[in-house]
Amino acid sequence: MKHTKTFLSNLLLTGVASLLLVTSCTTHRSIIKQPIKEEGAEYIFNKLKERELQFRTLSARFSADYKNGNQKYAFSGQIRVQKDTLIWLSLSVMGLEGMRLMISQDSIKYINRLNDTYLIGDWYDLNKFLNTNIDYNILQSFLIGNDISFYEDGKFKASIDKNEYKLTVSSRQKLKKFIRRQEEENNIFIQNIWLDPNSFKITRADVKEIKNTNIKLDATYSSFEAIGTQLFPREMIYLITAENRILVDVKFSRINIDEPMKFPFTIPSKFTRVRP
C-alpha cells in the first residue's frame, strides 16, 4: 500500500508540474472556402482580444493523459478560476482525490492526501524548481486559451501560416505597473500565436524565454464549444520541451461561466509541511 501511495503521489506531482509549465452545445469547426485575406497585426490582435473568453468565474471537469518518454498515466479532476485572482485544482487518480492546489498571484499551495503532506510556496520557489520564469498570468492564459494579460502587445508581426493567421513577437515583456518582484523585469518572451481566420480564437500558442530557449511550452486548442455566445476549447494539448518532451492531453466537460463557486482549501492538522 505504501508503494502504491508513493507511485500515485509521484504521478500527481509530475502531472501538476507539467500543467504549471504549461467544454448540450455545438462544436465549432472552421471551414476555409477561400484564401485568407491578408490583414495587419493590429487588426488581427484587436480581433483576438474581441473574441477572448470573458468571465468572472469559470469551472470545469477534466480528464488528462500524461506522457513522458515511455511513461504514460491518466488522471482526472476539477478546475475553478476566479479571473486574475485564483486558480483552484483538484486532481484524482482512480476516482480518489490525491491532491488539491490553490494558486494565486503571489502564492502556490497544495495538499497531498496520498502522503499527508502540504506545501506553501510562491512563484519564485516554483520557477527555481522548474528552471523557468512563468507567472500566474501566463498559467491562467494557457489554461483557458486566451492571450497573456498584462504583457506588452505593440510589437507583433502578422503572417499567414497554413490557412491560419499567425502573430509573432520577439520581446514581450511584463508591463511595469504589474511587476511584483524585481526579478520579473527579466521576464521577456518569444511568442507565436495562431488564430482561426473565422472565429479569431487561438488554436495554438507557444512561448519560450529569451534567456532560456531550451525550455518551450506549446499549447494547441481544438473542439471549440459554444458557451452562451462565446467559444471555449474542449480539448487542449500541452507540449513541454525541456530535457524531456512531456505531453499532456486535457479534455474538458461540464463547463460553467460566472456561476457562484467556492474554493475550499483546508490543511488537516495531521499533515506535515514540506519545503519547496
The reported pLDDT for the residue numbered 27 is 42
- Note the pLDDT tens digit of each residue in 127-183: 776 667 788 998 999 999 999 888 887 689 999 999 999 999 878 887 776 666 545
* Reported pTM: 0.83
The reported pLDDT for the residue numbered 2 is 46
CATH topology of domain 2-23+38-274: outer membrane lipoprotein receptor (LolB), chain A (2.50.20)
> What's the mean pLDDT when you consider all of the chain?
84
CA-to-CA distance for 71 and 62, rounded, in angstroms? Answer: 20
CA-to-CA distance for 57 and 38, rounded, in angstroms? Answer: 35
Q: Which region among 47-56, 182-191, 267-276 has the lowest average model confidence (pLDDT)?
A: 182-191
The reported pLDDT for the residue numbered 167 is 95
CA-to-CA distance for 266 and 257, rounded, in angstroms? Answer: 25
Do residues 220 and 151 lie in contact, with contact meaning Cβ atoms separated by under 8 Å?
Answer: no
DSSP letter for each residue of 104-156: ESSEEEEEETTTTEEEEEEHHHHHHHHTS---HHHHHHHHHTPPPTTB--S--
The reported pLDDT for the residue numbered 80 is 98
The more confidently predicted of residues 61 and 17 is 61
* The three three-digit cell numbers of residue 262, written as one number: 467556492
Q: What is the CA radius of gyration of the chain?
A: 19
Average pLDDT over residues 48-66: 96
**Structural domain spans, the chain:** 2-23+38-274
Confidence of residue 93 (pLDDT cuts 50, 70, 90): confident
Kindly state the DSSP code that residue 214 receives in the 8-state scheme.
Answer: T
CA-to-CA distance for 226 and 237, rounded, in angstroms? Answer: 19
